Amino acid sequence: MARYITRRLLMIPLGIALAVTLAYAYAYVVQWDYASRYPELRNRLAASERPSSLVEAYGTYVQGLLRLDMGTLRSGASIAQTLRQALGASLGLLSIALLVSIPLGLGLGIAAARWSRLRPAGWLTALSTLGLAMPSFYVGSLLILLSVAYAFVRKGSGGLPFPLTGFGWDRHLVFPVLALMARPTVQTAQVTATLLTGELQKPYVVAARSLGHGRGTVKRRHAFRNVLAPVALTIATSLRTLVADLILVEWLFFWPGIGRFLASALIPADKTNMASSPYLLEPSFLAPLLGAVAAIFLIADFIASVLVRTLDPRLRVTAKEELPDV
């Protein structure tokens, strides 16, 4: 187990380094292609000295990283500080969304697991089908519509119940968290209910019931523990969708997280209704941004792998110590 953990831990910085390198190379190559068509990019490049090659530019950048200097944008803003704030905003949003969606999903899944049937309760199937069909921005738009309707009914007195845009660790969190947590909640609930329903048909459950244990006790204490490992894998898998949804939710609600910055760094201003972005295809900005996204995945994958092995003793004694793909 220690060897496995060490090996996985070592892969994290390697993965981040690979993501940063690829992102830097991508931005460097693509930005010159864009320069002929986008004046803000052309002006930025004209104002800077162009290195003779990608290798030289990347070498300079790495030297800066080793000095803990990520550079600054033309506006003078420190890239490191900007990224730090953005990462904090996004991780906070993600964490709160997960903290709410996981228990809620598990609870719904446990409630929907049935004893004498092969499938979970129909209400959860319907709920999860509807929930999985709703993109996060659609959930966000429904919340906004409800909010506007509420204000309309109250004839504007008291304003909107929750702010529609902006950043703050207060009521500003409500709509982004709700939009973000909808799909992972129903996904977790569906997987939990399906696995638990299957688990409840097994002979040891029948034996536990025959020994006088209550239904709730058997469900929660015996059967549920045996499905925790695959449920943890599902949650880790859903993180990918969550990060993609993070971009859309931050864009919709103007939440200044890495998702919003990523979109600003990849989408030219004339494709949006925003002002031109100083981050557009900036290699020294895009590289750590995608590195941060890769770090989220790698760390989440690592935590899920360790958790699965902790929860499922059978996996600890596997000779090759290989896990199913997350």
Partner 1 sequence: MSRGDPGRDAATRATRPRRVNWPLWLGSALITVVVFLAVAGPSLAPNDPREHHLIIQVDGKWVTPPYPAFTPGYLLGSDTLGRDLFSWLLWSVRPTIILVVVVAAVRMVLGIVVGIRAGWSDRFLGRLCDCLITAALSVPTLIAALIVITAVGFRFGVWSFVAGLAVTGWAETAQLVRERTRTVKAQEAVEAARALGASGAQIVVLHILPQVMPMIWMLLAFEVSHAVVTTAGLGFLGYYLGGPIFAEVDDFVYRRISEMPELGQMLATVWMVLDEPWAMVAAGSVVFLIVLAFNLVGEGLQARLTRTLGGSRGLYLRAAGDWIPRVEDAAGLVRRHWGRVAIMGLVLVAAGVSAVSWQARRGPDAGVGIPAPATGVGAPAGADESAAAAVGGVARWLEVPGGHIWANEGHDPWRTRCVGFSGPVTTTVQWSAEVDGAFVGGPVVDAQGVIYQAASALAESGERSGRLYAFGDDGRVWWEAALPAPPTGTPALAGDATIYVVIDGGLVAVTPDGQVRWQFASDDAGAAGGALVGPSGDVYYKSPGSLVAVHPDGSLGWKTPITGTAMVDTPRVSADGQTVYWRNLAFDAADGSPTSAGLGLAPQGIPLVQAVVACDGQLYWQYDVWLLRDVGEGVTLEEVTVVNWEAYTWEGLDAGISADGRPWLIARPTTVGMGRGFYWGTAEGELSSKLSVPYADSGQVVGVDAGNIAYFCSNSFDTAPSCVAFGPEQNRAIWRIQFRRNGNFTGAALAPGRLYAAFDDGTLIALGDPL
From 25, 30, 91, 228, residue interacting with partner 1 (rule: CB under 8 A):
30
CA angle 288, 291, 292 (to 5 degrees): 90
Question: Does residue 14 belong to the site contacting partner 1 (CB under 8 A)?
Answer: no
Which residue, 4 or 26, is less far from partner 1 as judged by CB?
26
From 108, 182, 193, 293, residue interacting with partner 1 (rule: CB under 8 A):
293
From 26, 80, 100, 228, residue interacting with partner 1 (rule: CB under 8 A):
26
**Smallest distance, partner 1 to C-beta of residue 174, A:** 15
Which residue, 224 or 251, is less far from partner 1 as judged by CB?
251
Q: How far is CA 190 from CA 61, 220, 282, in A?
A: 46, 16, 41
Helix, coil or strand: residue 289: helix
Name the token pair of 113.
Answer: 């697991």
**Alpha carbons 104 and 300: distance in angstroms, whole number:** 20
**Alpha carbons 107 and 124: distance in angstroms, whole number:** 11
Q: Is the dihedral of CA 316, 318, 324, 326 positive or negative?
A: positive
From 3, 36, 67, 68, residue interacting with partner 1 (rule: CB under 8 A):
36
Candidate ranges 140-148, 166-174, 205-213, 308-316; the one touching partner 1 (CB under 8 A): 140-148
Question: Does residue 267 belong to the site contacting partner 1 (CB under 8 A)?
Answer: yes
**Smallest distance, partner 1 to C-beta of residue 202, A:** 16
Which residue, 271 or 314, is less far from partner 1 as judged by CB?
271
Question: Does residue 165 belong to the site contacting partner 1 (CB under 8 A)?
Answer: yes
Which residue, 4 or 137, is less far from partner 1 as judged by CB?
137
Name the token pair of 194.
Answer: 């399906």
**Alpha carbons 288 and 265: distance in angstroms, whole number:** 12
Question: Does residue 13 belong to the site contacting partner 1 (CB under 8 A)?
Answer: no
Residue in this structure with the two tokens 């504007």, named with its chain if needed: 156
**Alpha carbons 133 and 46: distance in angstroms, whole number:** 46
**Smallest distance, partner 1 to C-beta of residue 106, A:** 22
Question: Does residue 57 belong to the site contacting partner 1 (CB under 8 A)?
Answer: no
Q: Which helix (H) or strand (E) holds 110?
A: helix 79-112
**Smallest distance, partner 1 to C-beta of residue 272, A:** 4
**Smallest distance, partner 1 to C-beta of residue 212, A:** 32
**Alpha carbons 318 and 312: distance in angstroms, whole number:** 11
- Enumerate residues 6+ apart whose C-beta is below 8 A from 267: 280
**Alpha carbons 226 and 220: distance in angstroms, whole number:** 10
Which residue, 8 or 42, is less far from partner 1 as judged by CB?
42
- Enumerate residues 6+ apart whose C-beta is below 8 A from 6: none
From 53, 78, 141, 217, residue interacting with partner 1 (rule: CB under 8 A):
141
Question: Contacts with partner 1: how many residues (CB under 8 A)?
Answer: 44
Which residue, 37 or 84, is less far from partner 1 as judged by CB?
37
Question: Do 45 and 32 touch, CB atoms closer than 8 A?
Answer: yes
Site residues (vs partner 1, CB under 8 A)? 26, 29-30, 33, 36-37, 39, 42, 129-130, 132-135, 137-138, 141-142, 144-145, 148, 164-165, 240-241, 243-244, 247-248, 251-252, 262-263, 266-267, 270-273, 281, 293, 297, 301, 325
